[in-house]
């Protein structure tokens, strides 16, 4: 069973349906006991970093996720959920994340060319930086759907894929059993479903 962490951030309907479509039997939950029993955990998220981080902390789920990640449970963050994996975000101030992957989340303003639009929205091609079991069913150059205004930086060791938007922006990261996608696999057609399928094949302790 794959668990989707329900911490009151964003709409989980599409993510749930995409996992159903690949036979994933997802459970949407905020219960630490259910999370412990899950084979994999997905941390979703849409909206503002500060609000999401507060909700994770006030529910105590931040600690639960840190413990489960340390125990080797496959954990994947999506979009804002990926950004939450890092140490810090500078979205409207300075906020602490889960600190599971070294690096920080910053705005695109001043980094991308002035005539590029913010948010980075639409289908963009993946540029592979490292081999990853997450990509076992897809190819470099496959397009995925992005919607974001902030991106992860200072995390070179963990970057497994980027997308070109002026400079190359972090598109996917992995550090052992903890990984994340800046794009939305649940909205990225067959390529996105293939990424989710690869994630559901990961088992506790088997990811390196």
Partner 1 sequence: MITKRIIPCLDVKDGRVVKGVNFGGLKDVSSPVALAEFYSQCGADELVFYDITASSDGRKLFTDILVETAKRVFIPLTVGGGINTVADFDRVLKCGADKVSVNSGAIRDPDLVYEAAKLYGDQCVVLSADIKRVDGQFRVFAKGGREDTGMEAISWIRRCVDNGAGEIVVNSIDTDGVKGGFDLEMLEAVCDAVNVPVIASGGAGKIDDFITLFQRLPKVDAGLAASIFHFGEVSIRDLKAEMVSANIPTRSL
Whole-angstrom distance, CA of residue 208 vs CA of residue 197: 18
Under the binding rule (CB under 8 A), the answer on residue 91 touching partner 1 is: no
Identified catalytic residue from 79, 91, 155, 181: 79
| Shortest spacing between CB 17 and partner 1, in angstroms | 5
- Specify the stretch interacting with partner 1 by CB under 8 A; choose among 60-68, 95-103, 173-181, 190-198: 190-198
Under the binding rule (CB under 8 A), the answer on residue 186 touching partner 1 is: yes
Identify whether the C-beta of residue 86 lies closer than 8 Å to the C-beta of residue 101.
yes
Listed residue (48, 52, 49, 27) closest to 37, CA to CA: 27
Category of 186 on φ-ψ map: left (φ > 0), alpha (ψ -120 to 50) or beta: alpha
- Specify the stretch interacting with partner 1 by CB under 8 A; choose among 16-24, 34-42, 60-68, 98-106: 16-24
Q: Pseudo-torsion of CA 59, 62, 63, 66, nearest 10°?
A: 160
Nearer to partner 1, 33 or 115 (CB): 115
Whole-angstrom distance, CA of residue 84 vs CA of residue 43: 9
| Shortest spacing between CB 53 and partner 1, in angstroms | 16
| Shortest spacing between CB 12 and partner 1, in angstroms | 10
Nearer to partner 1, 71 or 121 (CB): 121
- Token readout for 45 is 């998220």
- Token readout for 150 is 């902030």
Candidates 135, 165, 183, 199; binder of partner 1 (CB under 8 A) is: 165
Listed residue (176, 182, 180) closest to 205, CA to CA: 176
Residues that bind partner 1 (CB under 8 A): 11, 13-14, 17-18, 20-21, 46-47, 115, 117-125, 143, 145, 147, 164-165, 186-190, 192-193
């Amino acid at each position: 069973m794959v668990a989707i962490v329900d911490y009151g951030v964003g709409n989980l309907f599409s993510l749930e349906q995409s996992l159903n479509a690949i036979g994933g039997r997802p459970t949407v939950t905020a219960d630490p006991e259910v999370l412990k029993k899950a084979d994999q955990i997905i941390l979703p998220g849409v909206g503002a970093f500060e609000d999401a981080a507060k909700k994770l902390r006030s529910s105590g789920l931040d600690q639960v996720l840190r413990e489960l990640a340390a125990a080797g449970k496959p954990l994947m963050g999506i979009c804002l959920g990926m950004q939450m994996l890092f140490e810090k975000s500078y979205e409207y101030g300075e906020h602490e994340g889960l600190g599971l992957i070294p690096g920080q989340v910053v705005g695109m303003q001043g980094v991308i060319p002035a005539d590029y639009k913010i948010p980075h929205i639409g289908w963009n091609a993946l540029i592979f930086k490292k081999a990853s079991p997450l990509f076992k069913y897809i190819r470099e150059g496959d397009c995925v759907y992005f919607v974001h205004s902030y991106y992860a930086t200072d995390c070179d060791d963990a970057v497994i894929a980027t997308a070109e938007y002026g400079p190359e922006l972090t598109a996917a990261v992995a550090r052992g059993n903890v990984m994340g996608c800046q794009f939305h696999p649940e909205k990225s057609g067959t390529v996105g479903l293939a990424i989710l399928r690869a994630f559901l094949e990961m088992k506790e302790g088997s990811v390196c």
